[in-house]
Amino acid sequence: MKKLLAKALPLAYGQYFNVYSLLMPKKAAHKAFNLFCTVRKGKVQQAEYLDKNKNGVEFAANHKIQTYHWPGAKETVLLVHGWESNTFRWRNLIKKLQEANFNIVAFDAPSHGYSSGELLYVPLYEEVVHFMVKKYNPKYAIGHSVGGMTLMYNEHKNPNPGVEKLVTIGSPSEFYEIMDHFQQILKFNNRFMSVLNDYIYNRFGFQIREFSTSKFAASNTKMGLLFHDKLDIVAPYHASEQVHTNWKGSKLVSTEGLGHSMHQEEINNQIIEFLEA
């Protein structure tokens, strides 16, 4: 029965939006977009680790953003986590960064961890990242998954002269691939996807196929280090391949079997080496 419901629910959602968009296309697109961006937010896990490193709450992009700080004498490093995660995901890397005496700043994304909200999407995340860069002036920035995608978008939209090096870990590249997956799950018809594309363009100023970090990378003048596992089932490996191809100052480290999260010591050691080089 559970398996049957799991299959039937996406079909029901898809049919609902396909029909609703015939009557009220803008409202249907708005609801579908909010569904896509809704974060499953429960009780904050690993609260003890996070609580003892809280730095204060910033107000950015109409959200209360919880920040964290691990002081160090060397350059500032900004950490940007991925979807349905929080600052705790950086614990292994933070330990390495502390040992190397870097000054570490991190934060929970909107609707994640201790930060406010219910939705997350890259243009919103970019506003917060832009705020954090201006406030804390990091020399280096590291992003995992959607966090890495957001760093690339932020550098494209608001080039940051103080940031010299960027690291992305298991990050997607093409927005259309994400939306294609969304369409396949909920069985949206192509007409509704056109309605949704118009909604995104009117709201954010770009069409679904125009948002591409591989394209953004072509104008990126920073030094970059990209990690991606060839067997990553969350974000496709070819995403980082495409970004690396267009990003002249980048290096791609390919792995096999390390997964999407990439918490391993060998990854963190390479990040430290890259920052210190």
pLDDT score of 144: 98
Phi, psi (rounded to 5 degrees) for 68: -140, 155
Tokens representing 71 are 């002081």
Q: Which residues of the chain have pLDDT under 70?
A: 1-11, 42
Q: 237: buried, middle or exposed (CB in 10 Å: 19+, 13-18, 0-12)?
A: middle
Tokens representing 267 are 């990854």
The pLDDT tens digits for 40-94 are 876 777 788 899 999 999 999 999 999 999 999 999 999 999 999 999 999 999 9
pTM of the model: 0.94
pLDDT score of 3: 46
pLDDT score of 11: 65
Q: For the chain, what are the domain ranges? A: 1-38+175-200, 47-173+212-276
Q: What angle do CA 183, 186, 188 make, to 5 degrees?
A: 55
Tokens representing 169 are 């870990």
Q: Which residues pair with 144 in a beta bridge?
A: 169
Count Cβ atoms below 10 Å from residue 189 Cβ, excluding itself: 15
Under CATH, which number does the domain 47-173+212-276 receive?
Answer: 3.40.50.1820
Element (H, E) at 68: strand 63-70
